[in-house]
C-alpha cells in the first residue's frame, strides 16, 4: 500500500493538484456566473423601480388633474366636463340658472326704482331715483312687519312728507305707499336737478335774487332777455303745487312795465314754456333762439312731448305698471321669471 | 358811520385768524372786490382791522352790514358755539306749505318786535338752503347788546331749528314763539341733543348720517387706503373668525361712513340698587342715583373703534349706539315699570 502510494507519488500529487485546480476553476466560473446573474437582476430591478416610479408619478398627476377638474366643476357647477351627467349635476346647473335669473331680476328691480330685501323683522326697501336719464340718489326704508306696520329706520329727507304718506297708505296698501313715496322722491330730485343744472350751466343768463326752499317747490330768480337794442331783466316765479311732479303748476314771468309790447308777449310765451318743459331745457330753447334770431322763441322742440312721460314716469319704469306688461316690454318672457308672475313685489329671502 | 358799529366791526375782524380774513371779507360781500384785493393782510391784525373799519366808513356801513359780517363769522367758525336742537310739531298733519323766505322774515320780525322794541334781527341765506338768523337782544330801556347775540339756523320746510347756547335764556320763549309763527308750526320743544358741530347735528336729525341698510344690489365700492399687512406666513391668526364677526357687527351698527361728531353723551341713572339678598343693610327702596358722562373729541368714532380695539364686546350696548338714531345725547335711565331691568325712558 505504501509502495503503491509511494510508487505513484507523482501521479497521485499531480493529478490531485489538477483536480483541485479544475475544481477551483469551476468554482470561480460558477462564482462569476452568479455574480453576473446578480448584477443582471439588480439592473432589472432598478429598471423596474424606475418604471414604477414613472407610473406612480403619472398616476399622481392624473389624480391631481382630476381633483382640480372636480373642484372647478363644484365651483362652476357645470356638467360639461362630465361625460355622463349625473342627476346631481343637472340639479345644480338648474339651481345655478335660477340664481342667475333671480339676480338679473333683482337688478331689473333696482333699475325700476323700487327694490327690497327681506330682513329678520321685515323688509328693507331701496328707492332709487332718476331724472332725465341720470341715476340720482337712493333712499332706504327699513320696515318692520308687525301689527301695525312701522318704519324702523329710513334715510328719506326730512322735508319729504313721509309721515303723511305713511299715515295714508302704509297700513292698508304698501304698494301704493311705495309708489307715492317714490313719486315724491323722484319729483324732488328732479326739481333739484333742474335748479342745480340751471345755476351751473346757465349762469350767464341769470341775474341774482335766487329764492328757493328745501323741497324745491318754489323757485324765483331773475334772468336777462336780450333784444337787438338792450337787455331786460325778467323775474320768474315757479310754484310746484304737485309734490310728486317735477313740472310747475304755476309759472309767472314778470318784467318792468315800461318794456315794449313784444317783450310782454315774450314773457307770456316764456311762462307757458316753463309750465310744460324742464327748466334747463326751456333755457336751452332760449339760448338757441338767441343764437338764431330767425326762430320764434315759442317753438317747442321735438323732445317736449317726451318730457311729460319722462317726468311723470320718473324717467324710468313706473312701479304701478303691471309686472307682466313691462316684462314684455323689456323683452323678458313671463315664464323666465316664475317668481314674478303673480306678485308685484319680489322679495328674495335673505341669504 | 356809528361809533359802536365801527367798534363792533373792528372787534369781529380781530377775532378772525389772519389767514381767514380775506375769505371771510369776500363771503361778507359788502366791501367792493377791488378794495379787498388791495387790502394788505401782512401787518399786525390791529392794523388790518383798522383798515377794514376805514373801508367800511367809506362805504357807510350800518349795523345791518355789521350783523351780516358777524353771521358770516359765526357761520365760518360755527364749531365755537354749542348748538341745541329744537323740534317743532304741527297740531294737524297739514299740507306742506310753499316756503317763502320773505314772508318768513316778515313774520319772524313782527312777532319779536311786537314784544320787544330794542332788538336787532338779521337774516342770511347760505348755499345749502340754511337760513341764519342773528338776534341781538336789548331790554325795554337798553339798546341791543351786539356782543351777546343769539344765532338760529333753520332749514326751510324742516321741523328742526338749531339755536346757539346763549346767556339770554329769558328771551328764549319769545324766540321759540317767533320761530313757530314764522314757519307755520304749532309747538316747539328742546331736544336732548347738543354739540359743537352744527353739521353733525344736521346730519343726525335730517337722517343723513351713515346707516347700514340691507340690499341685494351691491353698493359701488369705495376706495379704501388700507396698507397691505405685512404678514409673516408663519403667523396664524387664532381669532380670525372672531375679528371678522366684530368687524361685521360693528359695520351693521355704525355703517361704513364717518360718524356725526358729538363731544359727549350723558346718562342719568335713576334705578334701584340691586344686590344679593344677604346685603340687607342697603335699603331696597332707595333709588341709586348716578350720572355717567362719556366725553371725547369725537364720541361716536370713539365708540365705533372700541370693539375692534378689543376694549369692549361687540355689539356695544344699544344705549350707546342708539344716539344718532334716537337723535339725543342726554338720557335718563329709569326702572322699567314692573320689570327689574333698566330701560330707556323717552320723555
Tens-place pLDDT, residues A305-318: 333 333 333 333 33
Percent of chain B with pLDDT over 70: 86
Name the minimum distance, in Å, from the CA of B173 to any CA of chain A. Answer: 25
The rounded distance, in Å, linking the Cα atoms of B145 and B137 is 6
What's the whole-number average pLDDT of chain A?
Answer: 77
pLDDT grade for A290, boundaries at 50, 70 and 90: confident
The per-residue pLDDT for range B167-208, each reduced to its tens digit, is 778 889 999 999 999 988 889 999 999 999 999 999 999 988
Interface test with chain A among B183, B216, B253, by most A beta carbons within 10 Å: B216
pLDDT grade for B94, boundaries at 50, 70 and 90: low
pLDDT grade for A189, boundaries at 50, 70 and 90: very high
Structure confidence at residue A337 (pLDDT): 33
Determine the average pLDDT of the residues in A101-122: 84
Tell me which of A225 and A127 has the higher pLDDT.
Answer: A127
Q: Is the whole model's pTM more than 0.90, yes or no?
A: no
Structure confidence at residue A114 (pLDDT): 86
Does A281 map to a domain?
Answer: yes
Q: By CA distance, what is A157's nearest residue in B?
A: B206
pLDDT grade for B36, boundaries at 50, 70 and 90: confident
Tell me which of B279 and B54 has the higher pLDDT.
Answer: B54
Determine the average pLDDT of the residues in A295-323: 37
Structure confidence at residue A77 (pLDDT): 58
Q: Where are the domains of chain B?
A: 3-76, 83-205, 241-344
Residue A225: which CATH number? 3.10.110
When mean pLDDT is compared across B4-13, B47-56, B286-295, the lowest value belongs to B286-295
When mean pLDDT is compared across A103-107, B31-35, B89-93, B147-151, the lowest value belongs to B89-93
Please say if the pLDDT value at position B214 is more than 50.
yes
Strands B119-125 and B130-137, by their bridges, are antiparallel
Does A157 map to a domain?
Answer: no
Taking residue A229's Cβ as centre, other Cβ atoms within 10 Å add up to 7
Does A184 map to a domain?
Answer: no
Pick from A103, A106, A140: which is nearest to B213 by CB?
A140
Structure confidence at residue B129 (pLDDT): 85
Percent of chain B with pLDDT over 90: 40
Determine the average pLDDT of the residues in B326-334: 89
Determine the average pLDDT of the residues in B247-261: 87
Location of C-alpha cell 499531480 = A14
Structure confidence at residue A331 (pLDDT): 37
Structure confidence at residue B135 (pLDDT): 94
Supply the DSSP symbol for A247.
Answer: S
When mean pLDDT is compared across A86-95, B116-125, B220-229, B237-246, the lowest value belongs to B220-229
Contact (CB<8Å) A140/B205: no
Contact (CB<8Å) A153/B211: yes
Query: Which residues on chain B are in Cβ contact (under 8 Å) with A110?
Result: 216-217
Please say if the pLDDT value at position B110 is more than 90.
yes
Residue A283 belongs to domain spanning: 190-312
Domain boundary among A46, A76, A106: A76
Contact (CB<8Å) B155/A214: yes
Structure confidence at residue B229 (pLDDT): 61
Does A20 map to a domain?
Answer: yes
Domain boundary among A76, A98, A119: A76
Please say if the pLDDT value at position B334 is more than 60.
yes
Taking residue A16's Cβ as centre, other Cβ atoms within 10 Å add up to 10
Does A31 map to a domain?
Answer: yes
Determine the average pLDDT of the residues in B268-283: 68
Pick from B101, B207, B213: which is nearest to A126 by CB?
B213
Determine the average pLDDT of the residues in A48-67: 91
Domain boundary among A76, A93, A111: A76
Query: Which residues on chain A are in Cβ contact (under 8 Å) with B101?
Result: 211, 213
In SS3 terms, chain B reads as CCHHHHHHHHHHHHHCCHHHHHHHHHHHCCCCHHHHHHCCCCCCHHHHHHHHHHHHHHCCCCHHHHHHHHHHHHHHCHHHCCEEEEEEECCCCCCCCCCCHHHHHHHHHHHHHCCCCCEEEEEEECCCCEEEEEEEECCCCCCCCHHHCEEEEEECCCCEEEEECCCCHHHHHHHHHHHHHHCCCCEEEEEEEEECCHHHHHHHHCCCCCCCCCCCCCCCCCCCCCCCCCCCCCCCCCCHHHHHHHHHHHHHHHCCCCCCCCCEEEEEEEEECCCCCCCCCCCCCCEEEEEEEEECCCHHHHHHHHCCCCCCCCCCCHHHHCHHHHCCCEEEEEECCCCCCEEECCC
Which residues, in sequence order, are bridge partners of residue B195?
B83
Fold for B83-205, please state it.
Double Stranded RNA Binding Domain (3.30.160)
Structure confidence at residue B10 (pLDDT): 92
Q: How many domains does chain A have?
A: 2
Backbone angles phi, psi at B267, to 5 degrees: -125, 120
- Residue A138: its H or E element: strand A134-144
ω into B315 cis (within 30 of 0): yes
Query: Which residues on chain A are in Cβ contact (under 8 Å) with B98?
Result: 213, 217-218, 239
Amino acid at each position: 500500500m505504501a509502495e503503491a502510494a509511494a510508487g505513484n507519488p507523482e501521479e497521485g500529487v499531480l493529478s490531485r493538484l489538477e483536480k483541485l485546480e479544475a475544481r477551483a476553476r469551476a468554482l470561480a466560473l460558477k462564482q462569476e456566473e452568479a455574480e453576473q446573474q446578480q448584477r443582471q437582476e439588480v439592473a432589472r430591478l432598478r429598471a423596474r423601480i424606475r418604471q414604477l416610479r414613472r407610473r406612480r408619478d403619472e398616476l399622481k398627476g392624473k389624480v391631481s388633474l382630476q381633483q382640480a377638474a372636480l373642484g372647478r366643476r363644484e365651483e362652476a357647477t357645470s356638467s360639461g366636463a362630465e361625460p355622463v351627467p349625473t342627476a346631481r349635476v343637472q340639479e345644480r346647473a338648474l339651481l345655478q340658472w335660477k340664481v342667475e335669473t333671480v339676480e338679473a331680476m333683482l337688478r331689473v328691480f333696482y333699475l325700476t326704482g323700487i327694490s327690497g330685501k327681506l330682513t329678520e323683522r321685515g323688509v328693507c326697501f331701496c328707492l332709487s331715483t332718476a331724472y332725465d336719464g341720470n341715476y340720482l340718489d337712493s333712499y332706504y326704508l327699513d320696515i318692520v312687519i308687525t301689527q301695525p306696520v312701522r318704519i324702523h329706520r329710513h334715510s328719506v329727507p326730512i322735508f319729504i312728507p313721509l309721515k303723511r304718506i305713511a299715515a295714508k297708505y302704509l297700513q292698508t296698501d304698501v304698494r301704493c305707499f311705495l309708489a307715492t313715496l317714490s313719486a315724491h322722491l323722484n319729483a324732488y330730485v328732479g326739481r333739484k336737478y333742474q335748479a342745480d343744472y340751471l345755476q351751473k350751466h346757465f349762469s350767464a343768463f341769470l341775474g341774482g335774487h335766487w329764492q328757493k326752499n328745501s323741497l324745491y317747490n318754489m323757485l324765483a330768480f331773475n334772468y336777462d332777455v336780450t333784444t337787438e337794442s338792450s337787455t331786460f331783466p325778467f323775474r320768474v316765479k315757479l310754484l310746484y303745487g304737485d309734490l310728486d311732479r317735477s313740472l310747475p303748476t304755476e309759472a309767472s314771468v314778470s318784467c318792468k312795465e315800461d318794456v315794449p309790447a313784444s317783450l310782454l308777449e315774450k314773457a307770456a310765451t316764456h311762462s307757458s314754456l316753463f309750465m310744460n318743459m324742464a327748466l334747463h331745457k326751456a333755457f336751452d330753447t332760449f339760448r338757441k333762439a338767441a343764437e338764431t334770431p330767425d326762430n320764434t322763441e315759442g317753438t317747442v322742440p321735438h323732445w317736449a312731448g317726451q318730457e311729460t312721460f319722462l317726468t311723470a314716469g320718473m324717467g324710468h319704469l313706473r312701479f304701478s305698471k303691471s309686472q307682466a306688461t313691462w316684462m314684455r316690454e323689456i323683452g323678458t318672457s313671463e315664464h323666465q321669471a316664475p317668481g314674478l308672475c303673480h306678485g308685484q313685489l319680489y322679495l328674495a329671502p335673505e341669504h | 358811520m356809528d361809533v359802536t358799529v365801527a367798534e363792533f366791526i373792528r372787534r369781529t375782524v380781530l377775532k378772525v385768524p389772519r389767514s381767514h380774513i380775506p375769505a371771510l371779507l369776500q363771503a361778507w360781500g359788502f366791501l367792493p372786490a377791488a378794495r379787498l384785493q388791495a387790502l394788505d393782510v401782512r401787518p399786525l391784525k390791529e392794523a388790518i382791522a383798522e383798515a377794514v373799519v376805514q373801508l367800511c366808513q367809506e362805504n357807510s356801513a350800518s349795523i345791518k352790514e355789521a350783523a351780516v359780517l358777524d353771521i358770516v363769522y359765526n357761520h365760518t367758525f360755527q364749531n365755537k358755539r354749542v348748538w341745541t336742537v329744537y323740534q317743532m310739531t304741527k297740531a294737524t298733519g297739514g299740507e306742506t306749505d310753499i316756503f317763502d323766505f320773505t314772508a318768513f322774515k316778515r313774520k319772524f320780525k313782527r312777532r319779536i318786535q311786537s314784544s320787544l322794541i330794542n332788538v336787532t334781527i338779521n337774516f342770511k341765506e347760505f348755499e345749502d338752503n340754511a337760513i341764519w338768523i342773528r338776534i341781538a337782544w336789548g331790554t325795554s330801556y337798553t339798546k341791543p347788546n351786539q356782543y351777546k347775540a343769539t344765532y338760529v339756523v333753520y332749514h326751510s320746510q324742516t321741523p328742526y331749528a338749531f339755536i346757539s347756547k346763549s346767556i339770554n335764556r329769558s328771551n328764549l320763549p319769545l324766540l321759540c314763539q317767533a320761530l313757530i309763527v314764522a314757519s307755520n308750526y304749532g309747538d316747539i320743544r328742546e331736544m336732548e341733543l347738543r354739540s359743537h358741530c352744527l353739521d353733525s347735528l344736521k346730519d343726525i336729525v335730517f337722517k343723513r348720517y351713515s346707516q347700514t341698510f340691507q340690499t341685494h344690489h351691491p353698493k359701488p365700492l369705495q376706495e379704501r387706503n388700507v396698507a397691505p399687512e405685512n404678514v409673516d406666513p408663519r403667523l396664524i391668526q387664532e381669532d380670525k373668525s372672531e375679528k371678522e364677526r366684530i368687524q361685521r357687527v360693528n359695520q351693521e351698527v355704525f355703517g361704513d361712513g364717518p360718524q356725526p361728531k358729538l363731544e359727549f353723551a350723558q346718562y342719568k341713572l335713576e334705578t334701584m340698587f340691586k344686590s344679593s339678598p344677604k346685603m340687607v343693610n342697603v335699603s331696597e327702596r332707595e333709588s341709586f342715583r348716578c350720572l355717567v358722562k362719556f366725553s371725547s373729541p369725537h364720541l361716536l368714532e370713539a365708540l365705533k373703534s372700541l370693539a375692534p380695539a378689543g376694549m369692549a364686546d361687540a355689539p356695544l350696548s344699544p344705549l350707546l349706539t342708539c344716539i344718532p338714531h334716537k337723535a339725543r345725547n342726554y338720557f335718563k335711565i329709569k326702572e322699567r315699570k314692573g320689570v327689574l331691568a333698566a330701560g330707556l325712558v323717552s320723555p
